[in-house]
Amino acid sequence: MKKFYQKIVEHPKSILTLFILAAVFVVLLFTMKSVSLPVFLVLAIETAVWINVSIPYFKDSTVFYISYLIISSIQLGATVDYAILTTERYMEFRQTMDKKKAVSETIAAVTTSLLTSGIVLAVVGYLMGAISSHGILSQLGTFLGNGSMLSLTIVLFVLPGLLYLFDGLIEKTTLHTNFYQKRRHHHESK
């Protein structure tokens, strides 16, 4: 088993990334009991990670491979956590309110928790990047700071939009969903 993972790590970044994303997708597929939600979460997560590791390219600077591996894992872990919290709140609110209200309430419910965690991670990362004289540690710190801010931005602004836009698809592709329907609720109260 160890040799299997060593071979994966030695492969190009794209193969490693696909392997990791497939593993995350499968875990989300079974825990969320949905086909569509893992797609949106993985899309949000990978967008944040990809933007973060692309910044050095546009600055024409070198990325240490070990930095790439470490920050991809840390940022993936943090972003998936943020995305799951946001999605679970949305799914809860969606049972008792329409999608517009559910998105609004979701953002209100998760913002403080996400900002607290994300800002602490960003500050620690930026401090490590500024203080460390070691190239890899400094790069990791900068990646961590940037990644935290990017993850927060994607999860607070992009993910709620995806949940709103694809609400109908989410309802159809998620087991045991009972989304609030205005007509049904109005009809039952008469």
For residue 71, CA distances in Å to 48, 89, 93, 137, 139 come to 11, 27, 33, 11, 10
List the domain boundaries for the chain: 14-182
pLDDT per residue as tens digits for the range 16-75? 778 888 999 999 999 999 999 999 999 999 999 999 989 988 988 888 888 888 888 899
| Third-level CATH fold of 14-182 | Multidrug efflux transporter AcrB transmembrane fold (1.20.1640)
Confidence class for position 172, pLDDT limits 50, 70, 90: very high
pLDDT, the chain, mean: 89
- Looking at 11-98, list the stretches that DSSP marks H as alpha helix, in order from N- to C-terminal side: 13-32, 36-58, 65-94
Torsion region of 58: left, alpha or beta (phi above 0 gives left; psi -120 to 50 gives alpha): alpha
Instruction: Indicate if the pLDDT at residue 126 is higher than 80.
Output: yes
Q: Residue 2's pLDDT is what?
A: 54
Angle between helices 135-153 and 36-58 (to 10 degrees): 140
For the segment 152-169, the average pLDDT, to the nearest whole number, is 97
Q: Rounded CA gap, 64 and 1, in Å?
A: 26
Q: How many CB atoms lie within 10 A of CB 165?
A: 13
